[in-house]
């Protein structure tokens, strides 16, 4: 994306916070580049969430740059408060494809919709926010 792009409130991309840039990239399926642990990373961002330890994290598929934790490309989580300046690029990505999104990350379980609870007789329970009968 170019720097003159604006969000829905009219703010330029330069005025957005790291979190806002990441949300924008996720929604637009745009590749991002940023510094993390002193190294430049190129990442396809998929999910922002709160880790079970309470830290905000990004789940992304790293396609280039350095990684302490494994081979590139591969799935990574990044603590968002440790991410340097986020550059939202013009490059887009389609989705997780054959690799699939990781579901073994604690924040993923936290962010998933809760399973519907049934009643004692096995029938589905009321939807949250709707009156019980």
Give the pLDDT confidence score for residue 71 in this predicted structure: 87
Residues 6+ apart with CB under 8 A from 44: 29, 31, 32, 60, 61, 62, 63, 93
CATH of the domain at 71: 2.30.30
Q: pTM for the whole thing?
A: 0.67
Residue 131 lies in a domain: no
Residue 8 lies in a domain: no
What is the tally of structural domains in the chain?
1
Residue 69's domain spans which residues? 13-93
What pLDDT tens digit does each residue of the chain (133 aa) get? 444 444 444 467 678 999 999 999 998 999 999 999 999 999 999 999 888 888 899 999 999 999 887 789 988 999 999 999 999 999 998 866 545 555 555 554 434 334 444 445 544 434 333 333 3
Residue 41 lies in a domain: yes
Residue 5 lies in a domain: no
Residue 133 lies in a domain: no
């Amino acid at each position: 994306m170019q720097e003159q792009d604006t969000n829905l409130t009219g703010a330029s991309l330069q005025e957005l916070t790291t979190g806002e840039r990441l949300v924008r990239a996720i929604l637009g399926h745009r590749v991002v580049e940023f510094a993390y642990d002193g190294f430049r990373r190129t990442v396809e961002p998929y999910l922002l969430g709160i880790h079970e330890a309470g830290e905000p994290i990004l789940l992304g598929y790293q396609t280039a740059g350095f990684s302490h934790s494994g081979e590139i490309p591969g799935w990574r989580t990044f603590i968002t408060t440790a991410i340097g300046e986020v550059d939202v690029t013009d490059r887009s990505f389609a989705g997780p494809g054959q690799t699939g999104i990781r579901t073994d990350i604690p924040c993923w379980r936290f962010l998933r919709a809760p399973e519907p609870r049934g009643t004692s007789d096995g029938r589905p329970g009321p939807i949250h926010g709707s009156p019980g009968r």
